[in-house]
Structure 1
Amino acid sequence: MTKPLADKIRPKDVKDVVGQSHLLGENKILNRILSSGYITNMIFYGPPGVGKTTVANIIAKITNKKFYKINATNASLEDIKRIIKDLDSLMTLNGVLLYLDEIQNFNKKQQQSLLEFMENGKITLIASTTENPYHYVYKAILSRSTVLEFKMLTKEEIIKGLRRAIDVSKKDLSDINIEYDENVLEYIANVSNGDLRKAINAIELAIYSTKPNKDRGIYIDLSIAKECTQKKVLNYDKSGDSHYDILSAFQKSIRGSDPDASIHYLARLIKAGDLISICRRLLVIACEDIGMAYPNAINIVKSCVDSAMQLGFPEARIPLSQATLVLATAPKSNSAYMAIDLALNDLDSKDVGDIPIYLKDSHYSGANKLGRGVDYKYPHSYKNNYVKQQYLPENIKNAEYYIPGKNKMEQKVENYLRYIKNY
C-alpha cells in the first residue's frame, strides 16, 4: 500500500520539524526534555496538522521503553487493559511509552485506568488533544503531566513544508518533471489554516491528478491548486475551545474600540453560521461594555439582532455588521456591569440587614399597624422630585455601587445627581 505523502515526509529528527520553535528551539522546554533523554508525562495541545504526532514519534525513537500508540476516538478500556497486562513482560522491563491520541474522547473512567501506572512509572503517557486539556482531561492526569501547547503554523512554515513535500515527490516520481507556479504554494498555505497535513494532502492531489504531457512533465498552476483544495475551513466548534476563543476576541475588540478587528471576528463567527452566539454576545456587550455611556445602544442592537434573526443568513450579516460597528465606535463604560457585581458581592459576603421599614410594601389593610410605609417621603411631592432619605439597609447605608464613568453621558448623570442633592 502506498503511504500518503504526509507520512513519507514526516520528520525523523526534531531539527526537521516545521514550526513550534517556542517548544523545539534551542534551550526551549521540549528541546531540553529530548536532549536530556528523561521523558516525563506530557500532554500535547493544539490544532490538527501542527506536529503533535510527529514529535511523539520522535520521542518514541529516543526512548528505550516499549512504545504503544492508540487513538481514543476508537479505542476502549480493553485496549488499555491489554497494555497493562504487558507491563511485567520481558518486552516492557524498561516501562511503556503510551501515545494516546485525542485523549479528550476518553471518559473519566478510561483516563483513571492509567493513573496507578503513571504514578509508579510503569507507563509514561504522551497524550495529544485538539481541545483545551484543562476542560477535557481528568485533573489527576493533568497534575501528573506537563501541558505543552502547539501553535498553528504560519504561512511561511507551511510553504517550507510544501517545498519539502514536492522534493520528496520528485524523488518518488523520478521519471516525471514536476514544476509549479510559486503562487500555488502561497495559495495552498493561505487556505490550509495552519494545518500542514491539509496543505500536503492538497499538493499531493495536485501532483498525482495532473496528467503528464508528452515530455513527461507536469505543471501545477493556480487553477489546479484551487481545484485540489477544499474551501477554507476555520477552526470552529460550537462546543469547543475555538468557539469561546473567537467570541472572546470579538468582545475584547469591540471593548477596545477597534472596528476593524471587531468586524474580522464577526466574519469568523458568520462563516461558522453561529447566529445565536453572535446575537447573544452583541446584546451583552451593549450593556456590559457600552452601558451608561450610550444607553440607547441596547435599543439599536436589539433592533439589529431581531432583524438578523428574521432574515437569517446570508442577509443577517448586514444588521450584525451594523450592530458591531455601533458598539465598536460607541463610547465605553462598564459602570452598570461593575455596579451590579459589587451589589451581588455584598449579598454574598456581608450581613446587609433588613429593608428600611418605610420602604416596605404598604398597599394592604393593616400595613400601618405594622409600621410599613409610615414615614416614607414621596419624592414627587418635593422640589425637583427629590428628597433626602435612606434607601439602603442600615448595615450598608454608606455603600456605593454606581460610579459614573468619565464619558459625556455619565458626566451629565453625575452633574444631575449633584444638582438635585445639593439643591
Structure 2
Amino acid sequence: MTSDGLFDLPDSAPELPRQPGSGSLAGNEHASAPLAVRMRPRSLDELVGQQHLLEPGSPLRQVIDGDKPLTILLWGPPGTGKTTLASLISRHTNRRFVEVSAVSAGVKEVRDVIAGARRALAGSGVETVLFVDEVHRFSKAQQDALLPGVENRWVSLVAATTENPHFSVISPLLSRSLLLTLQSLTDDDIGVLVDRAVTDERGLAGAVTLSDEARDHLVRLAGGDGRRALTYLEAAAGAAQARDHAEVTVEDAALAVDKAAVRYDRQGDQHYDVTSAFIKSIRGSDVDAALHYLARMIEAGEDPRFIARRLMIHASEDIGMADPTALPLATATAQAVAMIGFPEARIPLAQAVIHLAAAPKSNSVITAIDAALSDVRAGKVGPVPPALRDAHYAGAKKLGHGHDYRYPHADPRGVVEQQYAPDDVDGTEYYTPGPHGFEARVAERLQAVRAVLRDRRPR
C-alpha cells in the first residue's frame, strides 16, 4: 500500500487478461462489427499515415523496439489512428492492453485499473498498457489519479486527446509524457484505407467494387478522418447492395452520406485560410459569405473565443470610426461567448458578423497609428513643447514649463490655437478620416479643429 492508502489492492480490483499482447481489438473483428473496427491495422506495417512517428530512430520507435515502460500522449484530430496506435504499441511491446474512456470512467475506475495492473505486475511480471481515450475530458482529480501509476511504472500510460494538451492535460502528467502529434490523413492515405477495405477479407471482401467517382467522393467527404471514410464506405456499400448494384456509384455514396465533413484543422492551413476568408468577407461587406465562413468554423469546432477576438480586431482595423459602435458590440460579443459557450454562442457571433459586415468601412485608425509609429521609430520624437510640460512641481515655472499654456475650455469653441506636437512632426496629419458612415461627420469636425489649432498668427 502507498503512503496515502490510495492504491491498496482491493478484492474488487479487476483481473486483467492473462494472455500477453491482448488488446481492445480482440473480439471486435466479428462480421457485425463496424467496418472501421474490423479494418483496424493488426501491425505497424498496416498503419496508414503517421509515418513521421514511426521512422527508424524516432522516439516512438525507440520505445517500441526497446520494449521500455512509457507514458505517451497522442494528440491529433479524430480518425487519425490514436486508438489503433495505442493497441499496436501494446502488441509490439508484448503487454496487456486495457482501455478506459474518459467519457464514462471516474476516479474509482481509474484507481481500480491501476491497482489491477499493479497486481498483475507483482504476480506474473506482465506489464499493462493503459489507454485513456479523450483524456482531455478527465477532470483534474481524475488526471491526478493517473500519476501514481505513471510515477511507479505500474502501467504504461497511453492517453489520446483531440485538444491541445498544453491546455487540457495537467502539468505533472504532461511533464512525464512523451507528446506525439498525429496529423490528419492525406487524400492518398484515405484512398489506401478505402481500397484496402473494399478487397480485404475483414472488410467488404470484394462483395462490391467502387467506381472512381464514388471513391473520390468518399475521400473528399472524409476530411482526413480514416474512421469517417470507412463508415461512409460501409454505408455506401449497403446502399449499393440494397439497389442490387455490384458497383458502388457516386449516386450510392450521395444517397448514403448526405453531409460533407468540414475539412478544417485548427492548427493547419485550413484554419488560416478560412479565417482569412472570413475577415476578408466582412471587410468586403459580404454578409452572406461571412456567415458561411462563420458556419464552417462553428461546425469544425473552432474555439468561439478565437472567433470573437478576430471580430474585435476587425471592428477597429476595418471599421473604426466609420461606425464607433462596432468595437463595443464586438467586445460585448466576446463577453457573451465567454459566458454561454456553444451552441448558443453562435447567435451573438452571427449578430456581430452581420453588424460588422453591414457597417461602413474605414481603415483610417490602423493607418493613423502605423504612420505615427513609423515616425517614432524613425527618430522623429523631438522635445515636448514647453507649454505642455508638467508644471506641478517646485521649480517647474522657472524652467518655463506650462508657460503660455492655453486652456481649451476657456474658449467658447472648446479649441484654441496651440502647438501640441513636437517641432519634428508639427503639422503632420496621421489621421485622415474616410468618407463613410459616422466618419464623414468626424471629417467635417476635424477639418474645422485643425484650422483653429494651426491658426497661430500673432494676436
Instruction: State TM-score, norm by structure 2.
Output: 0.61
Cα distance between partner residues in 1 of 2:368 and 2:221? 38
Q: Which residue does 1:112 correspond to in 2? A: 144
Q: Which residue does 2:381 correspond to in 1? A: none
Contact 2:406 2:416 in 1 (8 A): no
The residue type equivalent to 2:131 in the other structure is Y
The residue type equivalent to 1:269 in the other structure is L
Q: Which residue does 2:322 correspond to in 1? A: 296
The residue type equivalent to 1:138 in the other structure is I
Alpha-carbon RMSD across the aligned residues, in angstroms, is 5.1
> Which residue of the other structure, out of 219, 225, 234, is the alignment partner of 2:247?
219
Contact 1:41 1:146 in 2 (8 A): yes
Q: Which residue does 1:269 correspond to in 2? A: 294
Contact 2:143 2:170 in 1 (8 A): yes
Matched, 1:284 2:283: no
For residues 147 and 264 of structure 1, do their structure 2 counterparts lie closer, same or farther at Cα, with a shift above 3 Å needed? Answer: farther
Cα distance between partner residues in 2 of 1:230 and 1:169? 28
Q: Which residue does 1:37 correspond to in 2? A: 67
Q: Which residue does 1:135 correspond to in 2? A: 167
Between 92-101 and 142-151, the greater mean CA deviation after superposition: 92-101
Aligned length: 356
> Which residue of the other structure, out of 403, 406, 412, is the alignment partner of 1:377?
406
1:368-407 map, 5 Å: 377-379=406-408, 381=411, 385-387=416-418
The residue type equivalent to 2:406 in the other structure is K
Which consecutive residues of structure 1, in runs of 5 or more, have no partner in the other structure? 307-311, 340-354, 359-372, 391-397, 399-403
Local SS of the residue matching 1:210: helix
Matched, 1:189 2:219: yes
Cα distance between partner residues in 2 of 1:325 and 1:18? 50
For residues 44 and 296 of structure 1, do their structure 2 counterparts lie closer, same or farther at Cα, with a shift above 3 Å needed? Answer: same
Cα distance between partner residues in 2 of 1:76 and 1:304? 39
> Which residue of the other structure, out of 231, 234, 237, is the alignment partner of 1:201?
231
For residues 213 and 124 of structure 1, do their structure 2 counterparts lie closer, same or farther at Cα, with a shift above 3 Å needed? Answer: closer
TM-superposed deviation, 1:64: 3.4
Contact 1:98 1:126 in 2 (8 A): yes
> Which residue of the other structure, out of 96, 104, 127, is the alignment partner of 1:74?
104
TM-superposed deviation, 1:287: 4.7
Contact 1:282 1:301 in 2 (8 A): no
Cα distance between partner residues in 2 of 1:283 and 1:67? 46
Q: Which residue does 1:18 correspond to in 2? A: 48
Deviations for 1:259-301, whole angstroms, at most 9, x for unmatched residues?
7xx9988634224389x8798446512355447xx64265678
Q: Which residue does 2:386 correspond to in 1? A: none
For residues 112 and 300 of structure 1, do their structure 2 counterparts lie closer, same or farther at Cα, with a shift above 3 Å needed? Answer: closer
Cα distance between partner residues in 2 of 1:53 and 1:167? 23
The residue type equivalent to 1:270 in the other structure is A
Matched, 1:160 2:195: no
Cα distance between partner residues in 2 of 1:111 and 1:156? 37
Deviations for 1:33-72, whole angstroms, at most 9, x for unmatched residues?
4344335211111121111111111100011333221111
Matched, 1:147 2:179: yes
The residue type equivalent to 1:3 in the other structure is A
Contact 2:64 2:93 in 1 (8 A): no
The residue type equivalent to 2:98 in the other structure is Y
Local SS of the residue matching 1:211: helix
Contact 2:69 2:153 in 1 (8 A): no
> Which residue of the other structure, out of 32, 36, 44, is the alignment partner of 1:6?
36
Between 161-170 and 265-274, the greater mean CA deviation after superposition: 265-274
TM-superposed deviation, 1:144: 0.5
Cα distance between partner residues in 2 of 1:47 and 1:228? 24
Deviations for 1:144-195, whole angstroms, at most 9, x for unmatched residues?
1122121222222212211111112697556x4x222211111112122221
Cα distance between partner residues in 2 of 1:109 and 1:304? 36
For residues 95 and 181 of structure 1, do their structure 2 counterparts lie closer, same or farther at Cα, with a shift above 3 Å needed? Answer: closer
Cα distance between partner residues in 1 of 2:278 and 2:217? 28
Cα distance between partner residues in 1 of 2:431 and 2:404? 37
Identity %: 23
Q: Which residue does 1:124 correspond to in 2? A: 156
Instruction: State TM-score, norm by structure 1.
Output: 0.66
Cα distance between partner residues in 2 of 1:263 and 1:330? 25
Contact 1:104 1:129 in 2 (8 A): yes
Contact 1:20 1:150 in 2 (8 A): yes
Cα distance between partner residues in 1 of 2:133 and 2:306? 32
TM-superposed deviation, 1:386: 4.0
TM-superposed deviation, 1:379: 3.1
Which consecutive residues of structure 2, in runs of 5 or more, have no partner in the other structure? 1-29, 333-346, 374-388, 393-401, 423-427, 435-442
